[in-house]
Amino acid sequence: MDNRRAHAVGRRKFLKSSAGLVGGTLFTLRGYADPEPRVQNVNTNSSPSKLRITDLRIATIRKPGPSPCTIVRLETNQGVYGLGEVRDMASPTYALFLKSRVIGENPLNITLLFEKIKQFGGDSRQAGGVVAIEEACWDIAGKVYGVPIYQMLGGKFRDKIRIYADTEESNDPREYARRLKARKDEMGLTWLKMDLGINLIEDQPNTVTRPSGQTSWEHYNLPHPFMANEVTDKGIELLVTYVAAAREAVGMEIPLSMDHLGHLGVNSIIRLGRAYEPYNLSWMEDVIPWQYTELLKHITNESPTPILTGEDIYLKENFEKLCEAHAVSKIHPDISTSGGILETHRIGDMAMEYGVPMAMHYAGLPIGAFASVHCAAATENFLACENHSLDVPWWQQLVEGVEKPIIDRGFIKVPDKPGLGVTLNDDAMRSHLVPDTGYFEPTPQWDKEHSIDRLWSMAPSWGARKDRSLVTTAPTAQETAVC
């Protein structure tokens, strides 16, 4: 075969194979292509850019303690849904009145949605609705893209999350110590916590100095420094007996934290911090309201026992004031108050820059607990997360899809399934509903609740002519939509 003939045959083979390749490619495009970019593990039943929130429904569950918790379910036009939780002692209304503000939005635009609704949150329980929606959006995003939430936060630092818990109080120091020891030996906790306040010793004479006739309103509404309550030397001595008994029972190796000291003045807190020094407590919690930065800094500087606060604080900027001033030794956000999963992760990263460790508070149902788990897994300076439900046998029955027991020897395993990694057990949920409330019933009564939510003043486009005279005609529909 001469060179010209060989070249012609080779050219025909190339064109033939090219045609097959092109045809195959066209077949692939015609058969499988969709308008979405191909992302590995993406839920092929979802078209992310066209995903929209279509409904917000709730189920309110009885919970041991002061009040119920509410699960929020965000539904979408593509069948995928997300779960979030409104924390205990917070009204479901905090979530319901946000429904009209999120319907029609793409839940994958989590930061955009958070910026839109975060103005409706606030300190303590007032952030409940904002956070529940934020958590539900993260759950949806994980399901759509086929990854756990922690992966979308940058990956995890740990495979399991350390848990600590309150211990039932006793007026008998030895019994209290026995209960703490059972938490360690029988449940396997590796971090303990005890509530130890003046309520345990105030019935004994000469232990607490306070004005007589204080009302319940004063107790619940006046900040600690304004109550004029101080603990005496005898009171401190009696309180120390509890801590000494606890340490004798559980040893010095395990971290031991303290909460609910009572409404005490700054000097009493400092004196207690010094008295507890030999027992090496991990922290004294919420000794005065968090807003008093300078007073907290004074206590922290004078007390050898570390000071911690944060479960009532909303948004990173408020935590940063405390961290920048080194007003506390550790921070303690509750994901249901602080602003949700991403905001709490940002709080941890910020605190890390100031050298401040982060524990986490949580006292709700498994949905919020697993939101906390994902955040904790992805946050470098995390210490341990609180759980108030160790003694509630049906708590872990509310969800499925994860290993049981959920809390195993003091840890929760970080789930690797998409989103939160859990689904609801409908039967268990229904059996613990608040009486006379529905189970994710439609909420059309909240569809049209609305107001002008913009936080700054802006003259409408129909408000003035070039000559600054007022316009007397009504705005057009297009102008109204722009407004």
Q: What is the pLDDT of residues 202-214, one digit of tens each?
A: 999 999 999 999 8
CA contacts within 13 A on the Cβ side of 220: 3
If asked whether residues 114 and 184 sit together in one domain, one would say no
Q: Token pair of 410, please?
A: 């003091």
If asked whether residues 84 and 174 sit together in one domain, one would say no
d(CA 166, CA 464): 62
Instruction: Give the mean pLDDT of 128-154.
Output: 97
Instruction: Work out the pLDDT band at 371, boundaries 50, 70, 90.
Output: very high
Residue of 374, 387, 389 lying closest to 344 (CA atoms) = 374
If asked whether residues 403 and 264 sit together in one domain, one would say yes
Of the candidates 426, 443, 461, which is a domain's last residue? 426
pLDDT at residue 66, rounded to an integer: 59
Q: Which domain holds residue 291?
A: 160-426
Mean pLDDT of the chain: 88
If asked whether residues 121 and 200 sit together in one domain, one would say no
Number of domains in the chain: 3
Whether 266 maps to a domain, the answer reads: yes
d(CA 433, CA 451): 32
Whether 40 maps to a domain, the answer reads: no
- With pLDDT > 90 as the criterion, what percentage of the chain qualifies? 77
Whether 452 maps to a domain, the answer reads: no
Q: Token pair of 445, please?
A: 């009564």
- Contact of 68 with 85, CB cutoff 8 Å: no
- Contact of 351 with 317, CB cutoff 8 Å: no
If asked whether residues 100 and 185 sit together in one domain, one would say no
Instruction: Work out the pLDDT band at 450, boundaries 50, 70, 90.
Output: confident
Of the candidates 122, 152, 182, which is a domain's last residue? 152
pLDDT at residue 424, rounded to an integer: 98
If asked whether residues 280 and 182 sit together in one domain, one would say yes
- Taking only Cα atoms into account, the Rg of the chain, rounded to an integer number of angstroms, comes to 28
If asked whether residues 283 and 420 sit together in one domain, one would say yes
For the stretch 284-306, pLDDT in tens is: 999 999 999 999 999 999 999 99
Of the candidates 123, 152, 181, which is a domain's last residue? 152
If asked whether residues 120 and 252 sit together in one domain, one would say no
Please return the burial class of 282, using the count of CB atoms within 10 Å of its CB with bins 0-12, 13-18 and 19+.
buried
Whether residue 192 is predicted with pLDDT greater than 90 in this model: the reply is yes
Whether 341 maps to a domain, the answer reads: yes
Whether 325 maps to a domain, the answer reads: yes
Residue of 21, 84, 63, 8 lying closest to 420 (CA atoms) = 84
Q: What is the CATH number of the domain that holds 256?
A: 3.20.20.120
Whether 5 maps to a domain, the answer reads: yes
The SS3 assignment for 421 reads: coil
If asked whether residues 296 and 363 sit together in one domain, one would say yes
- CA 94 to chain centroid, in Å, comes to 15
If asked whether residues 348 and 315 sit together in one domain, one would say yes
